[in-house]
Chains A and B, each alone.
Chain A
Amino acid sequence: DGGITQSPKYLFRKEGQNVTLSCEQNLNHDAMYWYRQDPGQGLRLIYYSQIVNDFQKGDIAEGYSVSREKKESFPLTVTSAQKNPTAFYLCASSIWSGGAFGTETQYFGPGTRLLVL
């Protein structure tokens, strides 16, 4: 089945610990994104990648890091510098439809809930 997978579903972090959230897609999409969602809030962009080996900071990149070594994979590391990491993390991917009036739609994975112990 084609889609976006995120693992783990739940992740617990201890103080001072770095943790990595996995995001994999087999849709052959070029772009991938990481969002953070706090309870009762909308989504905020952390990092995004338009192509392999390239990524840009979103609106709330501090305390996070990413890599894009393969087209299918875009892991997110929550570092110890992120003081309030408890949130729901969503990964998305998209592809350009092409043409003069091209469009793209972001499709989302099931998410990872990160909790601090």
Chain B
Amino acid sequence: AQKVTQAQTEISVVEKEDVTLDCVYETRDTTYYLFWYKQPPSGELVFLIRRNSFDEQNEISGRYSWNFQKSTSSFNFTITASQVVDSAVYFCALSEREIKAAGNKLTFGGGTRVLVKP
């Protein structure tokens, strides 16, 4: 069974500080996908990034960057120069490719609440 663990329940930073969110996952599959979603106070989940298991290249997209390491089953996410609007709950999620079609289930971590103070 697949499992996602976000050990940090809450992180508080001052604006412009960097924030790194940890995510550790468990899966038996060799093909899987990892995601980060943001949930602002309004409640809607907003897709941020997706990573495929066969591509360990780490990237930067604007103020977001991620560090995917299969050897340690970790998929950490960093917000650089945080802003007050980054305050939200962030979820890491895992999807195993059970079928080559839409309908693969997502397993979510418990979420990390990020509070960015001005």
Q: Which residues of A contact B (CB under 8 A)?
A: 29-31, 33, 40-45, 48-51, 58, 88, 90, 92, 94-96, 101-111, 113
B8 at the interface (CB under 8 A from A): no
B85 sits at the interface (CB 8 A): no
Nearest CB of chain B from residue A1's CB, rounded to whole Å:
14
What residues on B are CB-neighbors of A42 within 8 Å? 4, 91, 108-111
Q: Are B102 and A31 in contact (CB under 8 A)?
A: yes
Binding site for A on B (CB under 8 A): 4, 33, 35, 37, 42-47, 50, 52, 54, 91, 95, 99-106, 108-111
Bound Cα distance A58, B104 (Å): 11
Q: Please name the residue on chain B nearest to A50 by beta carbon.
A: B103
Whether the pair B99, A50 counts as a contact (CB closer than 8 A) is yes
A64 to chain B, nearest CB (A): 16
Which 8 residue pairs of A and B lie closest in terms of their CB atoms, listed nearest first? A50-B103, A31-B102, A108-B45, A42-B108, A31-B103, A30-B102, A96-B102, A111-B43
